[in-house]
Each structure stands twice: as structure tokens, then as C-alpha cells.
A = this chain, B = another copy of it.
Amino acid sequence: MTKRIRAAIVGATGYTGAELARLLLGHPNVELTVLVGASKAGQPVERVLPSLAGIVRGEVEAFDADRIASRADVAFCGLPHGASAPIVKELRARGVIVFDLSADFRLVDRAVHREWYGDDHAPELAKSAVYGMPELHRDALRTADLVAVPGCYPTATILPLAPLFAKGLVEEGPVIVDAKSGVSGAGRAPSERTHFSETTEGFRAYKIAGAHRHTPEIEQEISRVGARDVRIVFTPHLVPMTRGILSTSYLRVKPGVDAARCTAEARAFFEGSPSVFVHDAGACPDTLWVRGSNRAHVSYALDARTGFVIAQGAIDNLVKGASGQALQCMNVRFGLPEGTGLAMPAAWP
């Protein structure tokens, strides 16, 4: 039998932290040993994460790299960018394998990172990071000790686009990515932007026209898989729901390419990937169908009147877009079946 993996969550009091706790508690090979949450250290876990009342006893702890290293083999870090890098550095220095959900290590080109984030707290460490999308980096992840888990928008966008670029089906030119996210992606800190009364029954875009920091991450991975420099027009929107991202991309395909071809290539590309389901051509996946699960639904349609392919990807931003994907990477890293602890379907409806 597989040996237990002892796991710590750093940044356990936010939404990705709560979701990590839920998933780690259900994972058959993991023992959740530490919950760190700086701002709420000393408070009972059940007060901070009410869904754990009666399930996890004890208190949220302050960060202490030595204590974590002594009690955990792996750490999942769900901290804001900038705050994560120094913490990760300390954990890596003590040999803890880190799955980092922040943006600090995702961009390979550190000049691009500095351009979009204005800083670079750990350029050396960044070199060793592997982008944590098993469907694209499975081999590298098997030996990775620092995994940069992708952003939620990139996951929903890259998955449907990757097979088309990998096979060279796409014409030159920018890709339009019109993405829509549930509100949990904005995190747990209250703000006007996420105040219930000004969020429900409304719909709006935000950080448009090159302002959203997930842009370079999507471009990096699509360019890599397409072996050419790809630019995207990225427009995120806020949907009045808690979880879910639908990414709708528009791209010109080469002559003769139709939705059936895209679908077939995607099915081949994701062969053996337990988290991705490719719908029949023309289908429209609903984020509700993946809510609470680590699944990605992908589909393709051809607008015959204009020659554009519409590529859609639907995920739960907190699971396949964050915490679930982190566990999926852990499974790959530890030689477990990739879907271990992640097989449950969505809680539908």
C-alpha cells in the first residue's frame, strides 16, 4: 500500500485553502497535518472554515517553516502573488515539496513576469518550477519539487486551445478569449466589487484590454504548444454565481478544418487524461456540470458563415482551476493514479 503523504496547507483560510482542505481530507493517500493562516492564527478551524465544524479540530496556525517541514512532506500554498515566493523559498530550503497556487512561479520568462507583476521575489527558484497542468506537462511534473499551479482562467482557456495549436490547425493572428468567471475567483476579502447586492443580478467585464495578469500565462502556454508566438485579446467577466469559469475562444482555423476535426484531435490529445471530457462537436458545456469536481469540459463548433472556430472550456475555478489541479499534480509527482481523490462527479444540480 502507498505510504501516506503528510500535507500542509499554507493560506488555509481563503477559498482555495478551504477547497484544498476538502479535497485533501477525501484523498486516500494523504494526511492533512497543518493548516496555516497568518491572519487568523490561533482561531479554531471550525470558526474560520465553518464547513469543517465537527470534522477538523484544532486551531489555525501561524507560519513556521521548521514546524511544517517536520510535520509535512508537501505544502500547498494558497497565498497572494508576491506573498507566496518568500514562503515557498523557506519551505523548499527545508526540502518540502511545494504546490504553489500563486502566480509567482508560473511565467518562465522572468522579464515578462516583472513586466506584469512589477517584481520578482525568487528568480532563481522560478527556474526549477514546473507549470502544473498535467495535461501539458505530465512528464516534467513527475520529478518536480516546485509546481506552479496555473490560474483559473488559463486552465479553462488553454485546455480547449492546446490541441488545436499542437496540431497546427490555427491560422496566424490574435485569438479572442472571452471568459466568464464566478465570484469566488475574487477571493474571500470583502469588497464593493463582490458585495452581494451589487453583484447578483448584474453582469460586467473587468480588467479588459490587456489589464488582466492571466494574459501572459495563457500566451506562454499556447505559444509553447503551438511553437510560435501567439497573442490573445483577453476579456474576463464576472458572473453572478460562486463557482465556475466558461472560456469562449474565437480563432480562425486553416482551410478544411472543421469542428469534427478539432474534436477528434482534442480526444486524441487528452487520451489518458482523467479530468478532461471532450463533448461532441457543437455542444455547449455548462459550468454547472463540473461544479465541485476536478473536471474540464471542452467543445468545438465551426461558424461556417465566417470560418471561425468557437472553442469552449468549462471548469470549476476552485477545483480544476486551483485546488483540485494542485492535487492532480501531487498525484503525478508521487506516482499515484492521476485521478486519485479527484474522481467524484460534480454535485449537480
Binding site for B on A (CB under 8 A): 15, 18-19, 21-22, 25-26, 49-55, 174, 176, 178, 180, 182-184, 186, 188, 190-192, 194-206, 208-210, 231-233, 235, 237, 239-244, 246, 248, 250, 259, 276-277, 279, 282, 284-293, 295, 297, 301-306, 308, 310, 312, 314, 343-349
Instruction: Check A190 against B200 for contact (C-beta < 8 Å).
Output: no
Instruction: Check B195 against A241 for contact (C-beta < 8 Å).
Output: no
Instruction: Check A174 against B306 for contact (C-beta < 8 Å).
Output: yes
- For the complex with contacts A25-B345, A26-B343, A54-B295, 7 further pairs of A-B residues with Cβ separation under 8 Å are A190-B192, A200-B241, A204-B246, A205-B246, A209-B282, A209-B304, A292-B292
A277-B239 contact in complex given A203-B244, A347-B347, C-beta closer than 8 Å: no
- Give every chain B residue within 8 A of A349 (Cβ-Cβ): 15, 18, 184, 197-198, 201-202, 242-243
A246-B19 contact in complex given A176-B176, A197-B194, C-beta closer than 8 Å: no
- Shortest beta-carbon distance from A295 to chain B in Å: 7
Instruction: Check B295 against A210 for contact (C-beta < 8 Å).
Output: no
- A310 vs B232: C-alpha distance in the bound complex, in angstroms? 13
- A196 vs B184: C-alpha distance in the bound complex, in angstroms? 8
Q: Of residues A178, A194, A297, A304, which shows the largest number of chain B Cβ atoms within 10 Å of its Cβ? A: A178
- The residue of chain B having its C-beta at the shortest distance from the C-beta of A46 within the complex is B277
- Give every chain B residue within 8 A of A345 (Cβ-Cβ): 21-22, 25, 51-52, 55
Instruction: Check B15 against A55 for contact (C-beta < 8 Å).
Output: no
- Give every chain B residue within 8 A of A19 (Cβ-Cβ): 347
- Give every chain B residue within 8 A of A18 (Cβ-Cβ): 348-349
- Give every chain B residue within 8 A of A242 (Cβ-Cβ): 196-197, 200-201, 349
- Shortest beta-carbon distance from A115 to chain B in Å: 12
- The residue of chain B having its C-beta at the shortest distance from the C-beta of A22 within the complex is B345
Q: Of residues A49, A50, A308, which shows the largest number of chain B Cβ atoms within 10 Å of its Cβ? A: A50
- A22 vs B290: C-alpha distance in the bound complex, in angstroms? 12
- Give every chain B residue within 8 A of A346 (Cβ-Cβ): 22, 51
- A206 vs B19: C-alpha distance in the bound complex, in angstroms? 26
